[in-house]
């Protein structure tokens, strides 16, 4: 009699687990799309849409399950644990091997969502004679939504930084299967084939536990296939996957599978980003850097003896800490982030700029490319307007603006957006072997500022020669006409960027 009264409680707890694990698998798929296919709004939207649609399909199919409901419920629980738990492992391993990877990705999303969608109506069918309908519906959905909330909070704050994408999916797959193991024993008298269900549950638990135990080795193998070089460092922060590789004595930094720099030629990029603004500014005492958590732009800034303070605003504490503590990387940025003149602030630049005080002589804006809306806002008129209170009439600002060759619409969209706020702008570009042609924008608040007037220079730069006018000529294949301005409410830049880079 006691077991009968406790049955609804245990099954409602299973709803909580189903909801938590189901959303985790959806978030894992979204994170994988970001890591492997690029942080595309389209990819994440398609994953969410596919998952919700597949849950509807699963709910529809559940009505055809009319016999041995407890057996089928546990079978589905085990399937979700196996498929959802192993999905990240399989997808990582297949990324370099299959031509139509996106089809495989969405297939796993559909299959997982379909199975999760089947469980809720199946469970309600089991409990319909044990709980009043009103209480049944409210309790099931309450546990379902609570589980989803907990999953969405834990995923970025705890799970990704501690377990990574692969470890997270496997861990929650094990939780799914543990529920199946518990129910196979607790409901043994209600099952048609209890011994078979128990054996399957234990076998699934053993299989997933072994995969989880070797998950680090599997991730190492899959990433070695992906990057093709020796991986010397890897870490997942709440914001991105950081991977450092080595090839022929040179090091490459990847964020979410996107190359950020190669030590072989990063000096070209950072010298051209920093030195035009620093050499033309009226003063360089107080410098502000947005992004640039690797400290390489700060390294170039500190070459000027007139610099008294540098404020670096970068969202990811994991990134700045890495470049403050890793001996290899500190060697490349010359310990710039540990310099007493440098203050590091780990905060969203969009929010920080709106409440910041003080004036800056030079601003260097080195954000990642605008591959999603959270980054696209940092290239919007709203963000550039927030810079005005931080500028003197003579403040010089340099912005990295993606490639004018591979993404001309994106490049000129940024330039026109800046120009709508600060009419005194100039576009320039240079060649970086690891990236190809790369573009920048230089601007100031003073309409009379002359960009070709060199006030100061430092010696022994490896690439930039202070002949700024040589960088301002754009051939026809790096131009684009009729581009829109990127506003916060339209984010046209993200669409330009996704359209252009998806062809590369």
- pLDDT, residue 39, reads 57
Residues 151, 92: contact at Cβ < 8 Å? no
Phi, psi for residue 62 in degrees, rounded to 5: -60, -25
Counting as low any pLDDT under 50, the low residues of the chain are: 1-4
The answer to whether residues 257 and 269 belong to one domain is no
The answer to whether residues 79 and 151 belong to one domain is yes
Q: In sequence order, which ranges of 393-434 are alpha helices (DSSP H)? A: 408-421
The answer to whether residues 138 and 285 belong to one domain is no
The answer to whether residues 77 and 151 belong to one domain is yes
- pLDDT, residue 268, reads 97
486 DSSP assignment: -
CA angle 99, 101, 105 (to 5 degrees): 160
The answer to whether residues 477 and 383 belong to one domain is yes
In 205-358, the DSSP E strands lie at: 230-236, 241-247, 250-255, 258-262, 286-291, 309-313, 342-345
How many separate domains does the chain show? 3
The answer to whether residues 329 and 430 belong to one domain is yes
pLDDT tens, residue by residue, 53-81: 999 999 999 999 988 888 998 999 899 99
The answer to whether residues 245 and 268 belong to one domain is no
- pLDDT, residue 4, reads 47
The secondary element (H helix, E strand) that includes residue 195 is helix 194-213
The answer to whether residues 473 and 427 belong to one domain is yes
> Of 240, 261, 282, at which residue does a domain stop?
261
| CA dist., res. 31 & res. 240, Å (int) | 9
Helix (H, G, I), strand (E, B) or coil at 391: strand
Give CA separation, 165 vs 156, 168, 170, in Å. 10, 5, 9
- pLDDT, residue 154, reads 85
The answer to whether residues 243 and 343 belong to one domain is no
- pLDDT, residue 448, reads 67
Where do we find the tokens 């589905």? 76
- pLDDT, residue 157, reads 82
Interhelix angle 101-127/41-61, nearest 10 degrees: 40
> Of 223, 252, 280, at which residue does a domain stop?
223
- pLDDT, residue 304, reads 97
The answer to whether residues 337 and 320 belong to one domain is yes
- pLDDT, residue 3, reads 44
The answer to whether residues 494 and 351 belong to one domain is yes
238 DSSP assignment: S
Range of the domain at 461: 263-501
Q: Of 396, 309, 315, 306, which Cα lies nearest the Cα of 353?
A: 315
Q: What is the CATH number of the domain that holds 349?
A: 3.40.50.150
- pLDDT, residue 238, reads 79
> Of 261, 283, 314, at which residue does a domain stop?
261
Catalytic site positions: 366
The answer to whether residues 219 and 179 belong to one domain is yes
Q: What is the CATH number of the domain that holds 122?
A: 1.20.1250
- pLDDT, residue 1, reads 40
């Amino acid at each position: 009699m006691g077991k009968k009264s406790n049955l609804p409680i245990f099954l409602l707890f299973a709803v909580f687990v189903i909801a938590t694990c189901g959303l985790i698998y959806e978030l894992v798929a979204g994170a994988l799309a970001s890591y492997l296919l690029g942080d595309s709004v389209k990819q994440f939207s398609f994953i969410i849409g596919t998952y919700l649609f597949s849950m509807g399909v699963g709910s529809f199919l559940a009505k055809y399950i009319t016999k041995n409901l407890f057996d089928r419920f546990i079978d589905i629980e085990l399937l979700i644990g196996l498929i959802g738990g192993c999905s990240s492992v399989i997808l990582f391993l297949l990324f370099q091997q299959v031509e139509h990877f996106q089809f495989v990705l969405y297939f796993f999303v559909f299959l997982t969502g379909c199975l999760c969608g089947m469980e809720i109506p199946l469970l309600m069918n089991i409990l319909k004679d044990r709980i009043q309908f009103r209480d049944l519906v409210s309790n099931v959905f309450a546990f379902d939504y609570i589980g989803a909330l907990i999953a969405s909070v834990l995923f970025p704050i705890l799970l990704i930084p501690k377990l990574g994408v692969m470890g997270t999916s496997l861990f929650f797959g094990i939780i799914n299967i543990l529920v199946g193991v518990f129910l196979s024993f607790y409901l043994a008298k209600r099952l048609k084939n209890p011994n078979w269900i128990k054996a399957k549950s234990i076998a699934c638990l053993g299989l997933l536990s072994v995969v989880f135990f070797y998950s680090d080795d599997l991730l190492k193998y899959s990433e070695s296939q992906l990057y093709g070089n020796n991986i010397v460092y890897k870490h997942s922060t709440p914001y991105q996957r950081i991977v450092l590789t080595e090839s022929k004595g040179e090091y490459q930094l990847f964020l979410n599978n996107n190359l950020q720099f190669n030590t072989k030629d990063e000096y070209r990029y950072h010298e051209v980003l920093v030195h035009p603004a620093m050499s033309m500014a009226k003063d360089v005492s107080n410098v502000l850097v947005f992004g640039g958590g690797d400290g390489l732009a700060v390294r170039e800034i500190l070459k000027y003896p007139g610099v008294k303070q540098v404020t670096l605003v970068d969202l990811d504490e994991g990134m700045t800490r890495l470049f403050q503590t890793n001996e290899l990387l500190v060697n490349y940025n010359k310990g710039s982030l540990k310099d007493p003149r440098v203050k590091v602030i780990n905060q969203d630049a969009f929010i920080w700029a709106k409440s910041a005080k003080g004036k800056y002589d030079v601003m260097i804006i080195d954000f990642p490319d605008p591959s999603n809306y959270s980054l696209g806002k940092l290239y919007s008129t709203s963000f550039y307007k927030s810079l005005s209170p931080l500028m003197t009439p003579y403040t010089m600002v340099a912005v990295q603006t993606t490639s004018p060759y591979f993404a001309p619409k994106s490049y000129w969209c940024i330039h026109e957006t800046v120009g709508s706020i600060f009419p005194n702008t100039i576009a320039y570009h240079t060649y970086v072997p690891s990236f190809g042609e790369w573009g920048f924008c230089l601007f100031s608040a003073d309409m009379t500022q002359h960009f070709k007037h060199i006030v100061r220079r430092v010696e022994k730069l490896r690439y930039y020669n202070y002949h700024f006018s040589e960088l301002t000529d754009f051939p026809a294949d790096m131009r684009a006409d009729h581009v829109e301005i990127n506003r916060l409410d339209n984010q046209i830049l993200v669409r330009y960027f996704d359209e252009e880079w998806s062809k590369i």
